Amino acid sequence: MNVTWLRSDTLEVGVIAHGARIVAVRAPDRHGQWGDIALGLADEDAYRRDRDYLGACVGRFANRIAGGRFTLDGTEYRIPLNEPATALHGGTGGFESVPWERAEPRDGSVTLRRTSPDGENGFPGTLQVTVTYTVDGPRLRIEHEARTDAPTVVNLTNHAYWNLAGAGSVEDHEVTLAASQFLPVDEHLIPSGPPAPVADTPFDLRSSQRIGARLREGHPQLRATRGYDHTYVIDGDPGADGLRHAVRVVEPRSGRTLELRTDQPGVQFYTGNMLDGSLVLRDGSAARQGDAFCLEPQAFPDSPNRPDFPSTVLRPGEVYRSRSALRFGTTG
C-alpha cells in the first residue's frame, strides 16, 4: 500500500490516494507507548471494498439527503440512493471510492486533488476539490477546499474511526461536546425538525460523560439510530484562528486525549452503530458496534432541502472551505 507518512515527535499519520483516506494514526499513551488509535484495513484492495468510509474524505455531500433529491434554482437533481430512502455521503460511488491525485508532501503536509465532473452522481457543476492533511506537533489539521463552474451543493468531511485505547470497546471513553442543541432524526436518519435542546436527554454531553453511560436508556432517538448518530450544533464563538472548540475525548486507561476544533456549524457524533463484524481490520480482528466513534465536522444533514438550515450552496466565483484541527495528548 502506497502510504504517505506525516510525522512529528508525538504523532504519525498515514494517508493514501484512494478516497483521500487517513489509513493510520499513531500516538503515545501516558507511559510513552505508541499505538494505533484509528481503525485501519490491511491493504488498498480492502479499502476499495470498504463500505464504512474508514478514514475517507466523503462527498460531494457528507451525511444524508432525503430521497436523494433536492431542488436548486428551480431544477430538481437526483442522487443515487445507497440507503432505502436517502443518499448517504454523496450516494453510490462517492468521493471515498475513487482515486485522488496526490502531491508530493512538504513541510508536514500532503494535498490530494480531484475533479468531480458535472453530473457525477447527479450533482450539478464541475467541482475542483482539494483536501490537505498537516501534522504539526500533536495536531492534525484537515482542510477541504472546492470551487465550481455552476451552482451546486457541497459538504465535505473526514470519516476516521477513533479508538484511543487502540482496541476494544469505546464505551468507557469520556466525551465532552460543546453543544446545547442537536438535530433529532426520523426513521431514515433525516432531521425531523429544527435543533432541539440536549438538556434532560442522553444527548447532553456538555460535561464529561462515558460514551456508554446512557447508551441503553431507551430514548426514542437512541433506538432510531441504535446509538449516537446525530449532528450536534456547536456552541460558542470562533477564536482568532476562526475555529471553535467542539469536542474533547479522554480514554482513562491509556490517558490519551483528543480535542477537536472546527469552523463548521455541526459535528456528527457516531458510535459505529453499523459495524456488524463483517469488517476485518488490519490486525485481523472484526469491527463491531461500539468499537470506535467518529467525529465528523460538517454542515447539517439534508441542508439542500432545508432553507432554515445554514446554506450549503456553492456558486461560481465562491470558494468552499472547511477547516478542522485535532489535537492529541495525554492526561497525567
Concerning whether 83 is annotated as a catalytic residue, the answer is no
Among the listed residues 159, 173, 174, 230, the single catalytic one is 159
Task: Give the type of residue at 277.
Answer: G
Cβ atoms of 56 and 95 closer than 8 Å: yes
Concerning whether 18 is annotated as a catalytic residue, the answer is no
Among the listed residues 96, 120, 174, 296, the single catalytic one is 296
Residues recognised as catalytic: 159, 296
